[in-house]
Amino acid sequence: MPTEIPPRHIRLTSHPGQSGGGAPAIRWGAPDAIERGPIVGTTTNRSQRNVIGTHSGSYGVYRALAVAAGSLTRGHRADLTNTSPTDAIGPYPQWGDAERIVSIDPWGAAVASVYEPYLEQGYDIRPTIAVTKAHIHLPEIRHAIAFQRLAADGRVLLSDASAVVTKVALEPVWWLPGVARRFAVSEADLRRALFEETGGMYPELVTRSDIEVFLPPIGGQTLYVFGDIRALADPSVTLTARVHDECNGSDVFGSDICTCRPYLTHAIEECIRGAQAGGVGLIAYSRKEGRALGEVTKFLVYNARKRQEGGDRADKYFLRTECVAGVQDMRFQELMPDVLHWLGIRRIHRLVSMSNDKYDAITGSGIEVGERVKIPDELVPADAKVEIEAKIAAGYFTDGSAPDDSRLASVKGREFE
Ligand SMILES: [Zn+2]
């Protein structure tokens, strides 16, 4: 039985001047961790908080549910024994540039060491980044070995066809002034839209302009690194990289209406090959399901595409999304390069992506890109021709010619069975 006495009233954090003065200041972009100040998103001791929102992205809602259901004690503090990163990352010069990284906390993996003085004083500081190691088994990689495109080397690729990786999970930490500048909007307009369009979920967005950091309730990112993660920051080491946006239907379930999993596994094969040749490979996977429109919207669009007059056609591909969602895409690649700068990356030798939005965001942020690697034609599922041709016509990278209007209109997808 919990012995904790429930509070008599709800403590609001939406008005200034009521905290105990124990919240550390955040100086975003300061090159030193202590000078920058820790991110304190705990709900345990509210006087220590210096952010809007809380940890774990969208999973914070499940934590609240667990508290409501009585299965989690309010104020539980994480025991972080033995949780430190398997590989040290940084600090890199990019960490000390406030405008270079605005959507993640560069010190988020190292809080236990760099904020030890705060932890000793009782501050509840949680990592927003975790670094671990794994072996990954993929049927496509076994296939690549069977067809002698890859061979086990006992280092990057083991004899059981598993690949050795370092993997990193990152939660979003938004510095609102920097995020606003990235989108060329005023901070006030950004705060107001975030407040109003989440149904008023975070009143501090509009009442606490003194709090500049927001932990948004959205999905984060996962990195898979092949080879030495520290080599990512060395522009003389050949880097093969793919920045991939989540597509549950294809990535996990093999749905054939798009190229997501075939392109992802092709990129992993390229990353392994590159790491075996003395380079390093990176997959940066963002939780932005269905162009960040969500899977319900995505499936509605599939229906609208398949049922429209003339069937599923490449020349109507973007129009059908826009009809349902109001926009063609909500992924907004503007924040995506932050994680590359966090890793110290200055040059991507081989970018395994055809997306012009991603290419423009990466190069526009100051990272050089060498070769762009398209998905091999034989890996494009028949029903995904609609998507890939529509994207090439809209500006995706190709080594062939972009389809003209008549060719685009002739690319058709399967009908519902
Ligand atoms: Zn997909």
Residue 283 φ/ψ, nearest 5 degrees:
-110, 120
Whether the per-residue pLDDT at 279 is higher than 70: the answer is: yes
Look at residue 271 and give its three-state secondary structure.
helix
93 preceded by cis ω (within 30°)?
A: no
Short-list 312, 294, 296, 293, CA closest to 304: 312
Region 85-96: mean pLDDT is 97
Looking at residue 75, what is its pLDDT?
86
Distance 245 CA to ligand 1 centre (A): 9
Short-list 291, 197, 278, CA closest to 250: 291
Residue pLDDT, tens place only, 158-204: 999 999 999 999 999 999 999 999 999 999 999 999 999 999 999 99
Looking at residue 10, what is its pLDDT?
55
Distance 380 CA to ligand 1 centre (A): 11
Structure tokens at 280: 């390093």
Region 256-279: mean pLDDT is 97
Distance, CA of 40 to CA of 110 (rounded, Å)? 14
Q: What is the pTM of this model?
A: 0.93
pLDDT band at residue 264 using 50, 70 and 90 as cut-offs:
very high
Looking at residue 11, what is its pLDDT?
52
Whether the per-residue pLDDT at 20 is higher than 60: the answer is: no
Distance 163 CA to ligand 1 centre (A): 24
Short-list 209, 207, 172, 171, CA closest to 187: 209
Contacts of 213 (CB under 8 A, 6+ apart): 26, 28, 39, 50, 51, 52, 173, 174, 175, 176
pLDDT band at residue 3 using 50, 70 and 90 as cut-offs:
very low
Parallel/antiparallel/unpaired status of strands 129-136 and 163-170: antiparallel
Distance 332 CA to ligand 1 centre (A): 17
Distance 217 CA to ligand 1 centre (A): 23
DSSP state letter for 412 = B
Whether the per-residue pLDDT at 146 is higher than 60: the answer is: yes
Distance, CA of 320 to CA of 301 (rounded, Å)? 6
Distance 343 CA to ligand 1 centre (A): 26
- Burial (CB < 10 A; 0-12, 13-18, 19+), residue 82, is exposed
Distance 303 CA to ligand 1 centre (A): 15
- Burial (CB < 10 A; 0-12, 13-18, 19+), residue 165, is buried
Distance 250 CA to ligand 1 centre (A): 5
Region 262-280: mean pLDDT is 98
Distance, CA of 324 to CA of 338 (rounded, Å)? 30
Looking at residue 9, what is its pLDDT?
58
Distance, CA of 278 to CA of 268 (rounded, Å)? 15
Q: Mean pLDDT score of the chain, rounded to an integer?
A: 93
Catalytic residues: 329, 331
Distance, CA of 159 to CA of 146 (rounded, Å)? 12
Residue pLDDT, tens place only, 46-86: 899 999 999 999 999 999 999 999 999 998 998 999 999 99
Distances (CA, A) of 243 to 169, 194, 281: 14, 26, 11
Residue 136 φ/ψ, nearest 5 degrees:
-115, 135
- Residue with structure tokens 């220590």? 48
Residue pLDDT, tens place only, 129-139: 999 999 999 99
